[in-house]
Structure 1
Amino acid sequence: MKKTLHIEHNAKLIRLVSQLQRYYFSPKFYGSENINPDKPAMYVGNHSIYGVFDSPIIIDYLFNEHKIAVVSLADHVHFHIPLWRKMVKGIGAIDGLREYARLAMQQGYSILVFPGGGREVVKRKGEEYQLIWKERYGFLQLAQEFDYDIAPFVAVGGDEVFDLIFDANGLLKQKWFQKILSYPKLGKLLRQGEIIPSIPKNIIPKRIPFYFKFLPRISSTSIHSIEEMKAFRDDLQLKLYAEIEQIKSLRDSQQL
């Protein structure tokens, strides 16, 4: 019997969750001509700090404006918090394990993935708009396996809503904290300090406009070796960085 994954898309919840962000940040969208609801794809982009401002807007936009019930690959920690877990599942998110992603793709869903994962969410001082992808290639391997195009997008604004007063860099330099991380269970729980959130100076985020841009799809069928996969990923990162800087430049010159 073919195994299926129960995926929920609660239309009212999706709109409700993003409603405050849409009102507060007045998001603008570009590149809608590059969105194709008739063929599933893997949407890949940069993640904003804390990850709670960009994702709901993107999911809502694709779901309500383009009729794409995208499945978001979320960090495991979301699914250990009872009430939060229910809400996350309600907007179409699943635990970001490869086996679950594979099941969702077998069912024909488009996938939303932030290769930077949890580390990119807990950005530190000076890491605004950095793609912290490490050596992750699983998302490209899955795209190849299911012949999914990569649908790149960028989000601008989210990394500028807070000024940070504390980040994990200071803690990681402390001997006592390194001692804590040396205990296997604690080190694993804290992911060697990676998931320690930064603390902002301002509790209320700055009200600045958000910009999202969807780029032309890229076929992954040209990848035939690990070297080509690395080159593909490097080129994808360069494309995203270039688009981020272009949007920031246009925004700053008040042309947007």
Structure 2
Amino acid sequence: MFELWCLHIPVEDRTSFEGLVELVETTVKSESSRASDRPVYLVGESVGACVALAVAVRNPDIDLVLILVNPGTSFHKSQLQTLSAFLDFVPEPFHLTTPQLLTFLTGNFMKITSTVVGRGFSPEEDNTLSEITSSLLASLTFLVDILTKESIMWKLKILKTAASFVNSRLHAVKAQTLVLASGNDELLPSSQEAEKLRGAIEKCRTRLFRDNGHKILLEAEFDLATTIKGAGYYRRSRKTDFVSDYLPPTHDELQQAINRDRILNFITDPVLLSTLPDGKIVRGLAGLPREGPAVLVGYHMLLGLELGPMVTGVLSSTGVHIRGLAHPFMFDKNSEQIMPDSAHFDHHRIMGAVPVTAANFYKLLADKEFVLLYPGGAREALHRKGEEYKLFWPDQPEFVRMASRFGATIIPFGVVGEDDICDLLLDYNDLQKLPFYDMLDKVLTRDGLKLRTDSMGELQDQGMHPVVVAPKVPGRFYIVFGKPIETRGREKELRDRDEAQRLYLQVKSEVESCINYLKEKREKDPYRSILHRLLYQAVHGPNTEIPTFEP
């Protein structure tokens, strides 16, 4: 993913802040000239973030991506400023007894210990975690000789200089910037600083890690590469290409995606069915093609609840990786500011979602991918009361013509179950009657976040809005993939609008048939209710596959 370079500052080194900036700048210029078509990533923690910002200020024409981890730009508002004055009165070797100073220099030792153990360290059987921690703490005695009071004073002084230099020049930073802030930072007010930087730097986004400390890069549960991918900051050229820049999820990332939906999977126990070439419906995914290109076209359940179980379920069972065409709201910088968590949509990007455009659709099919398309889009996922399982498809058959151009297989599918886990209390019509909702509505439906017919024929203007639901005793999710429809060899035929329209209506009819099939069949499922499923697992074991209706 990256070729890594590291700036090492020896303990005895006293290079000034400007000197450090020049060292990094020299390497950046060399790498940029060697591969001018690719960005150079600068990852800086604390004072390193200030160095990265300074390099960006001095080199606005170089394509840089800055990853700033708990940046030291907030030094003047932190405990470290007070600590630097306090150290003047502390004799050696007692300068290392301050907890804040130890954290500044070494990080949280308990979390570092969990990192060592969690990444495969195998201690002797008679060693406990506390013994390992004790041995690590004992090694701190060496710091007295290595980190003298004078060296620590120099580190704090250079941080103060760096913060002052950078804060007066933030307006000049043109580089794409991602600020990673720890919510449990013991030294710097990183959460507040991230918001300040987001407002001061033009191309800046933030990610907050509420439970992590100052030395987040040393903590086991944090993965920098995953964070960069999730934020949409990984690119191989001057412009982000969500198709060609995409890296498939690692084993750990896939496991995280599965864990994220673990509760939903537990309470809904999704039943996946597919249709064989002879038209027989079977439980499992034997009828799902294994080679692309393919277009999966279906109904978008309320709030897109089927997405996680379906995408991870298919990938885990068959190895088929589904790439979704998603609403631009999920990729918009301003959208992140109104979400409870700025990383709310990151897992969709990690799993391969791309903004829905004709160009991205074309590229995915050209790469022989499995493409997930919802012609009804947000209108179905945010439907009104009484509209569950109703399709809101536009009239244009453009996805059929695009699929035929690449000989892609069209796979209609249906999903049901939303009405078995929640009731819709407030829909868009209800929200419009609430005082002041119109202000939020303007933010959510501004022009930049609308899908227009000229961007992709299958999608009309679709505004985003919240809905309010009430949970109920959970039932079960059901997903059925219909009989695959081949377009290979029909390219000339489907260039004709009438022929394309006929196939389009056939696909729509198949999706409706899939939905009706599931609505009828689930009535015969003895384990539709979670109560019956829990009883079954209590008798047969928690990992036993729970039966369902006979397909």
Could you tell me the TM-score, scaled by structure 2's length?
A: 0.41
Percent of residue pairs identical: 21
Alpha-carbon distance in structure 1 between the residues aligned to 2:484 and 2:330:
29
* Deviations 1:148-191 (CA, angstroms, capped at 9, x unpaired): 010111111124432222222356799x999x99x9x9663685
Contact 2:424 2:468 in 1 (8 A): yes
Alpha-carbon distance in structure 1 between the residues aligned to 2:366 and 2:311:
20
CA 79–249 in structure 1, closer or farther in 2 if over 3 Å, else same: same
Question: 523, 534, 541: which is aligned to 1:252?
Answer: 523
Alpha-carbon distance in structure 1 between the residues aligned to 2:263 and 2:370:
25
Residue aligning to 1:212:
479
User: Does residue 63 of the first structure (1) align with residue 63 of the second (2)?
Assistant: no
Alpha-carbon distance in structure 2 between the residues aligned to 1:190 and 1:154:
27
Residue aligning to 1:232:
503
Residue aligning to 2:514:
243
Residue aligning to 1:30:
273
CA 136–84 in structure 1, closer or farther in 2 if over 3 Å, else same: farther
| Unaligned segments of structure 2, at least 5 residues | 1-36, 38-240, 275-284, 337-341, 451-460, 527-548
- Report the residue type matching 2:256 in the other structure: L
Residue aligning to 1:7:
246
Contact 1:62 1:68 in 2 (8 A): yes
Alpha-carbon distance in structure 2 between the residues aligned to 1:218 and 1:125:
33
Residue aligning to 1:198:
467
Residue aligning to 1:54:
306
Residue aligning to 2:418:
158
RCO higher in structure (CA 8 A, sep ≥6): 1
Alpha-carbon distance in structure 2 between the residues aligned to 1:207 and 1:39:
35
Residue aligning to 1:122:
382
Alpha-carbon distance in structure 2 between the residues aligned to 1:15 and 1:244:
25
User: Does residue 111 of the first structure (1) align with residue 111 of the second (2)?
Assistant: no
Contact 2:379 2:462 in 1 (8 A): no
* Deviations 1:97-127 (CA, angstroms, capped at 9, x unpaired): 1212222222221111111111111010111
Residue aligning to 1:17:
260
Contact 2:415 2:518 in 1 (8 A): no
- Report the residue type matching 2:409 in the other structure: D
Contact 1:41 1:111 in 2 (8 A): yes
Alpha-carbon distance in structure 2 between the residues aligned to 1:110 and 1:217:
13
CA 152–177 in structure 1, closer or farther in 2 if over 3 Å, else same: same
Structure whose alpha-carbon radius of gyration is higher = 2
CA 138–177 in structure 1, closer or farther in 2 if over 3 Å, else same: farther
Contact 1:115 1:136 in 2 (8 A): no
User: Does residue 95 of the first structure (1) align with residue 355 of the second (2)?
Assistant: yes
CA 251–193 in structure 1, closer or farther in 2 if over 3 Å, else same: closer
| Unaligned segments of structure 1, at least 5 residues | none
Aligned residues: 250
Contact 2:295 2:403 in 1 (8 A): yes
Alpha-carbon distance in structure 2 between the residues aligned to 1:187 and 1:194:
8
* Deviations 1:44-81 (CA, angstroms, capped at 9, x unpaired): 11110011x20111111221101111111111111123
Contact 1:44 1:113 in 2 (8 A): yes
Alpha-carbon distance in structure 1 between the residues aligned to 2:343 and 2:445:
25
Residue aligning to 2:325:
73
CA 8–193 in structure 1, closer or farther in 2 if over 3 Å, else same: closer
CA 118–136 in structure 1, closer or farther in 2 if over 3 Å, else same: farther
Contact 1:73 1:113 in 2 (8 A): yes
Alpha-carbon distance in structure 2 between the residues aligned to 1:69 and 1:78:
20
Contact 1:162 1:205 in 2 (8 A): yes
Could you tell me the TM-score, scaled by structure 1's length?
A: 0.84
CA apart distance, 1:206: 4.3
* Deviations 1:8-58 (CA, angstroms, capped at 9, x unpaired): 33222332233222112001111123211133311111110011x201111
> What is the DSSP-based 3-state SS (H/G/I as helix, E as strand, rest coil) of the residue aligned with 1:34?
coil
